[in-house]
Amino acid sequence: MMRGFSEEEHRARVDRAQAAMDRLGLSALLLTTEPDIRYFTGFITRFWESPSRPWFVVLPMVGDPIAVIPSIGAALMGRTWLRDIRTWTAPNPVDDGVSLLGKTLHEVARGGKVGIPSGPETHLRMPLADFGRLQGVGIDFGDDDGIVAHLRAVKSEAEIAKIAQSCAIAGRAFTRIGEVARAGVAMTEVFRGFQRLLLEEGADWVPYVAGGAGPLGYADVISPADEAPLSEGDVLMLDTGAVWDGYFCDFDRNFAIGEANPRAEAAWAHLVEAVEAGEAVARPGARARDVWAAMARIVGAGETAGRLGHGLGMQLTEGLSLTARDDTELEPGMVITLEPAIETAEGIFMVHEENIVIREDGPQRLSPFASGRLPLIGV
Amino acid sequence: MMRGFSEEEHRARVDRAQAAMDRLGLSALLLTTEPDIRYFTGFITRFWESPSRPWFVVLPMVGDPIAVIPSIGAALMGRTWLRDIRTWTAPNPVDDGVSLLGKTLHEVARGGKVGIPSGPETHLRMPLADFGRLQGVGIDFGDDDGIVAHLRAVKSEAEIAKIAQSCAIAGRAFTRIGEVARAGVAMTEVFRGFQRLLLEEGADWVPYVAGGAGPLGYADVISPADEAPLSEGDVLMLDTGAVWDGYFCDFDRNFAIGEANPRAEAAWAHLVEAVEAGEAVARPGARARDVWAAMARIVGAGETAGRLGHGLGMQLTEGLSLTARDDTELEPGMVITLEPAIETAEGIFMVHEENIVIREDGPQRLSPFASGRLPLIGV
């Protein structure tokens, strides 16, 4: 599969953003985070792991995006479709790109409003003190009103293909889990082994692995692994966000170690049923809360419980949330997870998760859906 | 080695922060990012990969830190030393913790100033619109004046031990690189293979791998791998930030594929010499710019070139920068990289990097220093 995207696709994204900016009266957008910058430019690097340098892209209401970046990124940004690349030597404790960015924003916005993604799931990736300096030179900032988030929520075919690739990679790794997990193996080793399998199956990198184990499930699905060993009769859950060419999968698998507890089997059957119920209503025009309700009915989730799924793409989680409160209308091209959880004992849960893309005529499965009984490993 | 830190160590960090807050007249600190929150609480999870939920810790001028977090994190935060844990069900599109945080800040700060890390390398990890809402309810925010950054820059023995562990893991993986790299292997496969080796040698996860290859080095050290295969006579560089218990190493190795180009050998000798020159001056009381100058003289770096090393710890890069401009005084407990680069041809470089900790009586090596000739692989 081809890496990256065509210039045509990047230009189409810019065109859609500019049409929305026009409607809102924004003269420019200021982008500072990895996914927002990558979405419009194709700039992909793991160097964002270093917090030492801010990176900026200015998207004018008319014309091509302008990169205002540390000189260490000039060569890589030069291989994208962008032609206007302005650099400074960073880190510079006295002026870390602020005057160069201010000059660029003045030139582009000419006193008009500059939109910044400011809503849910966003943050401004630059020092707050530097943002204050920009405000001090008379740039008029405002909310982008979700323009970037809404564009990113609806995926192109090329984006969907990359997510499908990540899902296929994780699907193959999950079928090999018996190679790394059995009774007596510490969870730290299971997590390491699972990450190795994901890489062997083709993941570029593995930004996220979570999991848990116990006779009836797990207390927590966000903890790192500990040194506790797996035991006969445990349910082991592993959840991954593996990446191929910058796009995530996000789904999990549950396994019974040696033998399955009948109560865990019963919970598992409910989880599979809930995913299928969510899938059945995940069609264009349905709301996020409708998909939530279809699953919540089966697993007995209350309105104030956590979400039962979410969008995904360039980030592990992005876009809508499957909760009772989220009115987002499903559109073709949205990629979401179905992630019901069920309480099996006081404070103990089992969670199941699959990935789908919304199509005109209904959902299409991206992860290889689990079915049947809880798979046994180590026997 | 024990994971985590003692409650005593966390309390000592809080005490030092509170003493500095007292001097600055800050009533509280507001922390929002992964390393800042982990530093004071011990809260460690890969769940930060999901941008959907903000997380807050409020550190009062007197008393213990207060966690104001999504309920999904309550169980894990409950296993830290914190006792005051306030939660809301997130994501909530109407009020994503803002009113709970506002109430907590009013209660703690009582009209006094609330410091936020706002200087170099920081960002505010919450939606800008929500920050505006907090300002709107009369919380008086100001810069923390680098309190948190300065505390984090000087490591405890327990922190240094974790970084040493990460360095040892990467050191062992590098000695096995011939298992995954040879002429004809695509760089994507080399990167995957190297990540597998890091996991096999004990890394918990691998947030950062970069590298490059060519007869005289590489044009760029931040690009992801491409499908181009290694060739006989290439210099291959691999650089990693692997993590053990939340602490990074950050060093690289260069290898000659089959045979070494004499010009690459000569550059390599200069790089080794430069690292040793930097090491020789990296003592308490020296400035970051002194270490830079010792290396710059040997590799011929100009004052406006990129940095030749930096601090590291809970992040791949943090703290001081080895540039001509950075006056930071080295203190015992600071962990830094020595990272000279040398131009071997127009736009082509070789880079070398090692990790040291500053001790009272001079530097101590944390990475297993490379020496001698460029190591050959694939022969």
B326 & B341 share domain: yes
Closest by CA position to A129, among listed B57, B152, B98, B116: B116
In the DSSP assignment, the letter for residue B100 is H
Residue range B74-91, pLDDT digits in tens = 999 999 999 999 999 999
**Residue B12 within any structural domain of the chain:** yes
- pLDDT attached to residue A29: 98
A63 & A108 share domain: yes
CA angle B121, B32, B14 (to 5 degrees): 90
**Residue A371 within any structural domain of the chain:** yes
B36 & B104 share domain: yes
Residue range A87-128, pLDDT digits in tens = 999 999 899 999 999 999 999 999 999 999 999 999 999 999
Q: pLDDT-derived band of residue A221, with 50, 70 and 90 as boundaries?
A: confident
A161 & A145 share domain: no
**Residue B52 within any structural domain of the chain:** yes
- Domain tally for chain B? 2
Report the C-alpha gap between A217 and A194 in whole angstroms: 19
Q: Give one DSSP letter per residue of B321-367, joined into a string.
A: B-STT--PBP-TTBEEEE--EEEEETTEEEE--EEEEEETTEEEE-S
Give B131's contacts (C-beta < 8 A, 6+ positions apart). Answer: B124
**Residue B1 within any structural domain of the chain:** no
Residue range B342-363, pLDDT digits in tens = 999 999 999 999 999 999 999 9
- pLDDT attached to residue B306: 83
Report the C-alpha gap between A106 and A99 in whole angstroms: 10
To the nearest 10°, the Cα dihedral for A298, A302, A304, A310?
Answer: 0
Chain B residue nearest residue A3, CA to CA: B226
Report the C-alpha gap between A309 and A324 in whole angstroms: 12
B77 & B216 share domain: no
Chain A residue nearest residue B2, CA to CA: A227
Residue B304 pLDDT > 80 = no
Name the minimum distance, in Å, from the CA of A305 to any CA of chain B: 7
B326 & B179 share domain: yes
**Averaged pLDDT for residues A269-276:** 98
A225 & A328 share domain: yes
B185 & B126 share domain: no
**Residue A2 within any structural domain of the chain:** no
Q: Give one DSSP letter per residue of A208-226, joined into a string.
A: EEEEEEETT-BS-SSPPP-
A167 & A144 share domain: no
| Backbone φ and ψ of B137, nearest 5° | -95, 20
According to DSSP, the residues that pair with A113 across neighbouring strands are A26, A140
- pLDDT attached to residue B302: 85
CATH number at residue A373: 3.90.230.10
**Averaged pLDDT for residues B231-249:** 97
Closest by CA position to A56, among listed A42, A44, A70: A70
Contacts of B46 in chain A (CB under 8 A): 207-210, 222, 224
Answer yes or no: do A209 and B76 touch at CB < 8 A. Answer: no
Indicate the residue among A152, A169, A191 that finishes a domain: A152
Mutate to test the interface with B, among A38, A47, A179 (most CBs of B within 10 A): A47
Residue range A9-33, pLDDT digits in tens = 999 999 999 999 999 999 999 999 9
Helix pair angle (A98-109, A128-136), 10° resolution:
40
CATH number at residue B145: 3.40.350.10
Contacts of B207 in chain A (CB under 8 A): 46, 49, 207
Residue range A49-68, pLDDT digits in tens = 999 999 999 999 999 999 99
Indicate the residue among B153, B186, B219 that finishes a domain: B153
Mutate to test the interface with A, among B209, B223, B326 (most CBs of A within 10 A): B223
Report the C-alpha gap between A197 and A180 in whole angstroms: 9
| CB of B346 less than 8 A from some CB of A | no
Task: Give, rounded to a whole angstrom, the gap between the first and last alpha carbons of chain B.
Answer: 37
Q: pLDDT-derived band of residue A301, with 50, 70 and 90 as boundaries?
A: confident
Closest CB to B224: pick one of A44, A195, A219: A44
Pairs of residues, one from chain A and one from chain B, whose beta carbons lie less than 8 Å apart: 206
Contacts of B219 in chain A (CB under 8 A): 75
Range 242-281 of B in CB contact (< 8 A) with A: none
Are the beta carbons of A197 and A177 closer than 8 angstroms?
Answer: yes
**Averaged pLDDT for residues A304-318:** 94
B188 & B100 share domain: no
| Backbone φ and ψ of A206, nearest 5° | -125, 85
Contacts of A347 in chain B (CB under 8 A): 75
Q: pLDDT-derived band of residue B7, with 50, 70 and 90 as boundaries?
A: very high
| CB of B196 less than 8 A from some CB of A | yes
CA angle B168, B169, B170 (to 5 degrees): 90
| CB of A367 less than 8 A from some CB of B | no
Answer yes or no: do A119 and B129 touch at CB < 8 A. Answer: yes
Q: pLDDT-derived band of residue B303, with 50, 70 and 90 as boundaries?
A: confident
**Residue B2 within any structural domain of the chain:** no
Are the beta carbons of A42 and A11 closer than 8 angstroms?
Answer: no
Residue A146 pLDDT > 80 = yes
Indicate the residue among B136, B153, B170 that finishes a domain: B153
Residue B27 structure tokens:
């009533």
Closest CB to A220: pick one of B76, B129, B143: B76
Residue B15 pLDDT > 80 = yes
DSSP collapsed to 3 states, A255-293: EEECCCCHHHHHHHHHHHHHHHHHHHHCCCCCEHHHHHH
Closest by CA position to A72, among listed A38, A96, A99: A96
Residue B120 structure tokens:
């170099």
Contacts of A323 in chain B (CB under 8 A): 91
Residue range B109-145, pLDDT digits in tens = 999 999 999 999 999 999 999 999 999 999 999 999 9
In this structure, of A219-223, A313-317, B34-38, the range with the lowest mean pLDDT score is A219-223
In this structure, of A256-260, B26-30, B313-317, the range with the lowest mean pLDDT score is A256-260
Residue A325 structure tokens:
């409160």
**Residue A1 within any structural domain of the chain:** no
Range 6-65 of B in CB contact (< 8 A) with A: 44-47, 49-52
| CB of B135 less than 8 A from some CB of A | no
Range 153-182 of A in CB contact (< 8 A) with B: none
Closest CB to B49: pick one of A45, A143, A316: A316
Answer yes or no: do B318 and A73 touch at CB < 8 A. Answer: no
ipTM: 0.97
Residue range B256-293, pLDDT digits in tens = 999 999 999 999 999 999 999 999 999 999 999 999 99
- pLDDT attached to residue A125: 98
Residue A233 CB-density burial (10 A; 0-12 exposed, 13-18 middle, 19+ buried): middle
| CB of A116 less than 8 A from some CB of B | yes
B258 & B330 share domain: yes
Contacts of A56 in chain B (CB under 8 A): none
**Residue B77 within any structural domain of the chain:** yes
The proportion of chain A whose per-residue pLDDT surpasses 70, expressed as a percent, equals 100
Residue A378 pLDDT > 90 = no
Answer yes or no: do B124 and A122 touch at CB < 8 A. Answer: no
In the DSSP assignment, the letter for residue A367 is S
Closest CB to A207: pick one of B49, B121, B210: B49
B279 & B184 share domain: yes
Q: Distance of alpha carbon A147 from its chain centroid, rounded?
A: 17
Residue A125 CB-density burial (10 A; 0-12 exposed, 13-18 middle, 19+ buried): buried
Range of the domain at A43: 7-152
Residue A226 structure tokens:
């500990």
| CB of B310 less than 8 A from some CB of A | yes
ω into residue B215 within 30 of 0, thus cis?
A: no
pTM over 0.80: yes
Closest CB to A51: pick one of B49, B221, B318: B318
| CB of A89 less than 8 A from some CB of B | yes
Closest CB to A204: pick one of B49, B224, B304: B224
Residue A304 pLDDT > 80 = no
